[in-house]
Structure 1
Amino acid sequence: MFNIFKKNKNEEDNVVEVKSPFIGKCFEVKDIPDEVFASNMMGEGVGFSSKDGILYSPLEGEIIQVFPTKHAVVMRSVEGLEILLHIGIDTVEMKGEGFEAFVNSGAKVKAGDKLISFDLNLINEKAKSNLSPMVITNKEIIEHIEFNYGEVDTNSVIARVKIKK
């Protein structure tokens, strides 16, 4: 009758929890050795170091694009967030060597689904860096983002994103 025990639903409306797309470590995007990512030119995000050489889906949604070189994926969450998941820096120069994609454009995915595997040793040998950025590219729909850093796995919430109503 009085609803005194109900949670204030408005506080949680339009909040998307983004899980880690890597098992490893999450850190501030400014530490990515690439000015485009480090300066948030592509959007707000975080950086990762991977322990197992696998990129996982950070949330439920659809794969919009898998780059032909398999070094990056663009996806859209069911709430409308557009996310660029990029493996390493200057890995496009590897022309797909050491990468294997498990999804194609148009695929529906859930958080934790395996998207791409990659050879960390080969990236260390051939690319500028094995550090990997994740950025939200449609920042115009975002009201607020909170990031969490540290050791992560695919169950770790690395961002809480409040979407504008």
Structure 2
Amino acid sequence: MNFFKKKTIIYSPGNGLIKSIDKVHDELFSTKALGDGFVLEPNESSIFAPVEGTITSIFPTKHAISIKTASNLEVLIHIGIDTVELDGKGFNLKVKEGTKVTKETEIVEVDFPFLESNGKDTDVIVIFTNLKEKPLAITEGLMKVNQEIGTIK
């Protein structure tokens, strides 16, 4: 019985346009092969944690960061498309593995103009990799950082 199971609140990881994951220009993400989620089309460089939890891994190229919530939800923040090819350039990490994060925690500062000048898409993709049957409902549109945009029960 999970009567007291806490819902997970999802926050906008930055200022910009929140859109459905099926609008990503990469089939791996848009077909939900890695899981359901959403996309932030950012209009500034700071990216914050979209959930409360703990940083569990950071890709060596700094473009992908994983968070695990208290309810064991696994969240992947993937910055840009094909940004792995930049080998960490353009990314200034603000956290490390084991860091506890909240919606106020800046996790990375990204030089989006640098990404664009290297021909990379700048969408910030947030994927819930182990949702299973849990429904995900996200509010799309222009959002401010830390604004609640959805929940997972």
TM-score computed with the length of structure 2 as normaliser? 0.92
Aligned to 1:117: 109
The one-letter code sitting in structure 2 at the alignment partner of 1:100 is: N
**Residue type of the alignment partner of 2:139:** N
Deviations 1:59-113 (A, max 9, x none): 2110001111111100011221110001111111000111110111111111120
Distance in 1 between the 2:5 and 2:141 partners? Answer: 27
> Which residue number corresponds to residue 4 of structure 1?
none
Map of 1:104 onto structure 2: 96
The unaligned stretches of length 5 or more in structure 2 are: none
In 1, the alpha carbon distance for the partners of 2:120 and 2:101 equals 30
Give the gaps of 5 or more residues in structure 1. Answer: 1-9
Could you say which structure has the higher helix fraction?
Answer: 1
The answer as to 2:27 corresponding to 1:35 is: yes
User: Which residue of 57, 64, 68 maps to 2:60?
Assistant: 68
Matched ranges for 1:14-163 at <5 A: 14-140=6-132, 142-162=133-153
Q: Which runs of 4+ in 1 moved over 4 A?
A: 10-13
Q: Which whole-Å CA distance do the structure 1 matches of 2:88 and 2:111 have between them?
A: 11
Count of residue pairs brought into register by the alignment: 152
Q: CA RMSD in A?
A: 1.7
Bigger Rg, structure 1 or 2: 1
User: Identical aligned pairs, as a percentage?
Assistant: 30
